[in-house]
């Protein structure tokens, strides 16, 4: 089935990303049950949380090294990755040993490195204009998919917890099918078909690309640690505020803050970024998210409505700028290496998340929930500094575009 409508293509890609990204946090949602059935030790519990990011980093590095998204048909790469992730995640249902389970989670993370970066490159192809909005919608799909296990768990709360794994694997299989059969080929094969250190050198010398990367790294320091530990924080806070409150309400609050608010934030961010500039949008979002990271701890055990309100603002602002870092790469990296540059950006970004995700529980025991999230505000503050510098390059590109259109004279 061939389609020409780019918005229909975006819909297909977005649905596939939602379904695939349900693989990311599904084991985290049922971590307490896995801890019992697998007899996990404290180090293994930490490793289980970090397994998907570790696998993603490995997969992203391998993809960058071999230039997979620049050498091969990215539609098929996405479909194969989604199908592989569905299979590996499905095997978890019959696993009863911690080592095998954690290994399968790492391998699932490897497969997701063939989903997320390739979807961004597909959007860059389909949307030479309105790319900020389109990529924002894509990241909204990623956000919704990442939070989907929390939503699924609401309906499986009185069932075997591994139904969450079954449903996620089924969704990833459907994603592979719709991408393979409903989305047409994108025939983008680079002449430079393999990795070389000259590519890495070009990226390092490309100042706007590196500034976007630095902004992204600060953003990633906060994002996945927030996504991982906010549900735990909300559960503990609700328990302190109202001990008899139904546990599914904290799951719903987590889904609302991460999934719904985050998805809306991504779309709104894409619309605003195309109007005020990517740098300005990222600076505003990181400022708001840093403030939320500092303030949310002070709502712990207090009014539930206030905790939820700050969580929703944080959930929207922490992800609303994410797409613009990817768009910045597609606009400033050389065309032959856009896929590799995107994958390398994500590789380093997710490597950073492993550190921040695992630091939170350590500092939580030292500082408590009231102060621990202040640690995450360091990332967006660093990112703001980078994106302020990036504004100069963005302004130069915009000036050249205006002059080329002939609608205004030289500035």
Is 289 part of any domain?
yes
Its domain, for residue 102, covers 7-184+203-404
Cα–Cα distance, 4 to 22 (Å, whole number): 28
Instruction: Count how many domains the chain has.
Output: 1
Alpha-carbon 106 to chain mean position: 16
411 domain-assigned: no
Residue 262 to residue 116: CA distance in whole angstroms: 17
- Tokens in use for 409? 């004279």
How much is the pLDDT for 4? 57
Q: Which has the closest alpha carbon to 95: 34, 41, 45? A: 34
Domain with residue 353: its CATH number is: 1.20.1250.20
**pTM of this structure:** 0.80
Rg of the chain over all Cα atoms, to the nearest angstrom: 21
- Does any domain span residue 190? no
CB burial class (10 A; 0-12, 13-18, 19+) of residue 327?
A: buried
Contacts of 290 (CB under 8 A, 6+ apart): 222, 377, 380, 381, 384
pLDDT at 288: 98
The length of the chain in residues reads 411
Cα separation, 74 vs 59, in Å, equals 15
Q: Write out the chain's pLDDT in tens, 411 residues.
A: 444 588 899 999 999 999 999 999 888 888 888 888 888 888 888 888 889 989 998 988 888 777 776 677 888 999 999 999 999 999 998 888 899 999 999 999 999 989 988 888 888 788 877 777 888 888 889 989 988 888 888 787 667 778 899 999 999 999 999 999 998 876 554 444 455 556 677 778 889 999 999 999 999 999 999 999 999 999 999 999 988 888 788 889 999 999 999 999 999 988 898 889 889 999 999 999 999 999 999 999 999 999 999 999 999 999 999 888 988 888 888 776 776 777 778 888 988 999 999 899 999 999 999 999 999 999 999 999 999 999 888 777 665 554 444 444 332
Contact present, 262 and 292 (Cβ < 8 Å): no
* pLDDT value of residue 132: 74
**What pLDDT does 334 receive?**
78
- Residue 2 within a domain: no
**Residue 397, pLDDT score:** 64
Q: Is residue 194 part of a domain?
A: no
For residue 410, what pLDDT is reported? 32
pLDDT of residue 399: 54
- Report d(CA 209, CA 327) in Å as an integer: 10
Nearest to 151 by CA among 247, 248, 232, 255: 255
What pLDDT is attached to residue 41? 85
Whole-angstrom Cα distance, residue 122 to residue 340? 13
Kindly give the residue spans of alpha helices, DSSP state H, lying in 244-377: 248-254, 261-276, 278-295, 304-320, 322-332, 338-367
pLDDT at site 407: 43
Q: Is 189 within the bounds of a domain?
A: no
pLDDT of residue 2: 41
Query: What are residue 314's phi and psi, to 5 degrees?
Result: -65, -45
Contact 215/282 with Cβ under 8 angstroms? yes
């Amino acid at each position: 089935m061939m389609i020409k409508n780019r918005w229909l293509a975006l819909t297909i890609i977005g649905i596939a990303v939602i379904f695939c990204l349900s693989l990311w946090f599904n084991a985290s949602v049922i971590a307490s049950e896995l801890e019992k059935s697998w007899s996990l030790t404290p180090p293994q519990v930490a490793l289980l949380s970090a397994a998907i990011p570790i696998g993603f980093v490995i997969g992203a590095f391998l993809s960058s090294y071999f230039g997979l998204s620049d050498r091969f048909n990215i539609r098929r790469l996405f479909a194969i990755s989604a199908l592989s992730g569905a299979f590996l995640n499905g095997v978890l249902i019959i696993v009863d040993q911690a080592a095998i389970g954690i290994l399968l989670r790492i391998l699932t993370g490897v497969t997701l490195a063939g989903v997320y970066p390739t979807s961004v490159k597909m959007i860059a192809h389909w949307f030479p204009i309105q790319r900020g909005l389109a990529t924002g919608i894509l990241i909204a799909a990623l956000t919704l998919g990442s939070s989907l296990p929390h939503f699924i768990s609401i309906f499986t709360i009185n069932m075997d917890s591994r139904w969450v794994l079954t449903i996620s694997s089924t969704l990833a299989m459907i994603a592979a099918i719709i991408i393979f059969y409903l989305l047409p080929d994108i025939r983008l094969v680079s002449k430079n078909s393999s990795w070389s250190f000259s590519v890495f050198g070009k990226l390092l010398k490309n100042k706007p690309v590196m500034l976007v990367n630095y902004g992204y790294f600060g953003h990633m320091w906060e994002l996945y640690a927030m996504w991982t530990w906010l549900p735990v924080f909300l559960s503990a806070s609700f328990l302190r505020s109202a001990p008899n409150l139904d546990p599914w309400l904290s799951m719903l609050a987590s889904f609302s803050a991460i999934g719904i608010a985050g998805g809306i934030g991504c779309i709104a961010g894409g619309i605003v970024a195309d109007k005020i500039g990517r740098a300005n949008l990222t600076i505003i979002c990181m400022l708001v998210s840093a403030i939320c990271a500092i303030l949310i701890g002070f709502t712990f055990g207090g009014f539930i409505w206030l905790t939820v309100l700050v969580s929703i603002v944080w959930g929207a602002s922490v992800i609303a700028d994410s797409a613009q870092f990817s768009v910045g790469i597609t606009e400033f990296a050389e065309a032959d290496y856009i896929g590799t540059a995107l994958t390398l950006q994500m590789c380093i970004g997710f490597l950073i998340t492993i550190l921040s995700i695992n630091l939170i529980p350590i500092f939580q025991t030292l500082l408590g929930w009231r102060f621990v999230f202040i640690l995450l505000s360091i990332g967006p503050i660093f990112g703001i500094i980078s994106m302020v510098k990036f504004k100069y390059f963005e302004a130069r590109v915009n000036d050249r575009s205006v002059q080329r259109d002939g609608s205004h004279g030289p500035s």
